[in-house]
């Protein structure tokens, strides 16, 4: 990098400011870079001052490392002149309050009812096949050939996968196969197909509420939805083997049954009335302070507290108050950091948290 250059943020980048860190998200390139909040002023300076001038203020080594990393992650580019940061308005057509993703259990009794899902805007389907006898080639082929379906995934038992491997691998739209009850945990890539083998059971996979960067969805659609809705629940459905329809595998509130004539109306009404769906991360304890709140699609259902805010019954694997995942050295739980979130409210013991941050980040 020539230190005389300017740095310009990409017009498709949005910055989500968290408690300690911020996340710069490039919505066109689907990349992100975490930035310490202390460096945000440096970033905004880059619009007005050359990197040479900034290096004189904070040190050349520091400046190069910071801006080179941002260029690598496509957050911005170096140029000869400082340009005005003109962020485009993101215009995107969404299926307003309707279905986008469905988890569908298929079996011998499904009949043709699954076709109802084609009329409600479904774009992505994950099919669950629990047993050998539940494999229904005609249903999977029909879903694979439906022009409105853009993404197809299969979650099945490893033994079922082995038995029907040839069939399964032939579906053109299939992007992911998850084989539960495998004797190993591994990921294999075959052309454009990801084969994930997990030792967990099918139920453990669909009810897994742990969060990690693999739950992030970096897209314009998800970003826009995250500003207004809970992205795990918004436009999502789970249809069990009896045809009963729920918002997600973790929801216990029955919406309707896929065999009912008023299936579409019932779903519309549910999406319209559900308070949890309208609870974006900005209104949920802890997530509201997290830099990942506009990319994270965590399988955690908030509990309403009053009309306009929510909390979670368990802790996330990420603690935004210290900027650590639970597998990282230095991680502490929320309670160890003086953060309490429950049905009574949200509280931070500033003294305890300040001490934790100092202990962890003093260097």
Please tell me what DSSP assigns to residue 296: B
- Residues between 182 and 241 with contacts to ligand SF4, criterion CB under 6 A: 211
Distance CA 166, CA 170 (A): 6
Given candidates 318, 323, 332, 334, which one binds ligand SF4 under the rule CB under 6 A?
318
Q: Which of these segments, 68-76, 122-130, 281-289, 353-361, binds ligand SF4 (CB under 6 A)?
A: 281-289
Could you tell me how many residues of this chain bind ligand SF4 (CB under 6 A)? 13
Exposed, middle or buried, 41 (CB in 10 Å: 0-12/13-18/19+)? Answer: exposed
Given candidates 75, 139, 180, 290, which one binds ligand SF4 under the rule CB under 6 A?
290
Given candidates 302, 310, 320, 323, which one binds ligand SF4 under the rule CB under 6 A?
320
Q: Quick check: 23 binds ligand SF4 (CB under 6 A)? A: no
**In the complex, what is the shortest distance from the CB of residue 289 to ligand SF4, in angstroms, rounded to a whole number?**
8
Q: Which of these segments, 55-63, 80-88, 138-146, 312-320, binds ligand SF4 (CB under 6 A)?
A: 312-320
Contact yes or no for 16/223 (Cβ under 8 A): no
Contact yes or no for 241/105 (Cβ under 8 A): yes
Q: Nearest to residue 162, comparing CAs of 186, 192, 129?
A: 129
Q: Which of these segments, 39-47, 63-71, 282-290, 349-357, binds ligand SF4 (CB under 6 A)?
A: 282-290
Residue with the two structure tokens 């880059």 = 46
Q: Quick check: 46 binds ligand SF4 (CB under 6 A)? A: no
How would DSSP label each residue in 149-211? --EEEEEEEHHHHHHHHHHHHT-TTEEEEEEES-SS-EEEEETTEEEEE-SS-HHHHHT----
Contact yes or no for 298/213 (Cβ under 8 A): no
**In the complex, what is the shortest distance from the CB of residue 318 to ligand SF4, in angstroms, rounded to a whole number?**
4
Given candidates 298, 321, 332, 339, which one binds ligand SF4 under the rule CB under 6 A?
298
Distance CA 12, CA 24 (A): 10
**In the complex, what is the shortest distance from the CB of residue 332 to ligand SF4, in angstroms, rounded to a whole number?**
14
Q: Quick check: 286 binds ligand SF4 (CB under 6 A)? A: yes
Residues contributing to the site for ligand SF4 (CB under 6 A): 211, 281, 286-287, 290, 292-293, 296, 298, 300, 316, 318, 320
């Amino acid at each position: 990098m020539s230190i005389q250059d300017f740095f310009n943020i990409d017009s498709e980048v949005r910055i989500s400011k968290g408690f300690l860190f911020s996340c710069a998200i490039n919505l066109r390139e689907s990349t992100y870079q975490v930035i310490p909040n202390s460096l945000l002023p440096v970033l905004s300076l880059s619009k007005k001052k050359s990197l040479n001038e900034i290096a004189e203020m904070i040190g050349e080594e520091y400046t190069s490392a910071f801006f080179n990393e941002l260029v690598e992650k496509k957050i911005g580019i170096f140029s000869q002149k400082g340009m005005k940061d003109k962020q485009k308005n993101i215009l995107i057509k969404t299926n307003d309050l309707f279905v986008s993703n469905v988890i569908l259990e298929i079996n011998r009794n499904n009949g043709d009812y699954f076709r109802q899902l084609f009329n409600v805007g479904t774009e992505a389907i994950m099919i669950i096949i629990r047993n050998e006898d539940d494999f229904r080639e005609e249903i999977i082929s029909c879903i694979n050939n439906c022009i409105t379906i853009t993404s197809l995934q299969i979650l099945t038992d490893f033994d079922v996968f082995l038995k029907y491997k040839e069939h399964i691998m032939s579906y053109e739209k299939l992007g992911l196969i998850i084989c539960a009850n495998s004797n190993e945990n591994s990921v294999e890539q075959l052309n454009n197909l990801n084969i994930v083998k997990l030792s967990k059971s099918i139920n453990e996979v669909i009810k897994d509420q742990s969060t990690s960067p693999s739950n992030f969805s970096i897209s314009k659609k998800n970003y826009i939805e995250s500003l207004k809705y809970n992205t795990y629940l918004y436009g999502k459905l789970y249809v069990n083997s009896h045809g009963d329809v729920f918002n997600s595998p973790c929801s216990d509130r029955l919406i309707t049954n896929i065999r009912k004539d008023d299936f579409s109306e019932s779903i519309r009404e549910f999406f319209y009335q559900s308070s949890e769906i309208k609870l974006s991360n900005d209104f949920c304890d802890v997530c509201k302070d997290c830099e990942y709140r506009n990319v994270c699609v965590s399988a955690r259902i908030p509990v309403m507290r009053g009309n306009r805010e929510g909390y979670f019954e368990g802790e996330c694997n990420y603690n935004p108050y210290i900027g650590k995942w639970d597998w990282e050295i230095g991680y502490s739980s929320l309670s160890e950091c003086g953060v309490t979130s429950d049905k009574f409210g949200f509280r931070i013991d500033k003294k305890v948290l300040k001490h934790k941050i100092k202990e962890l980040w003093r260097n």
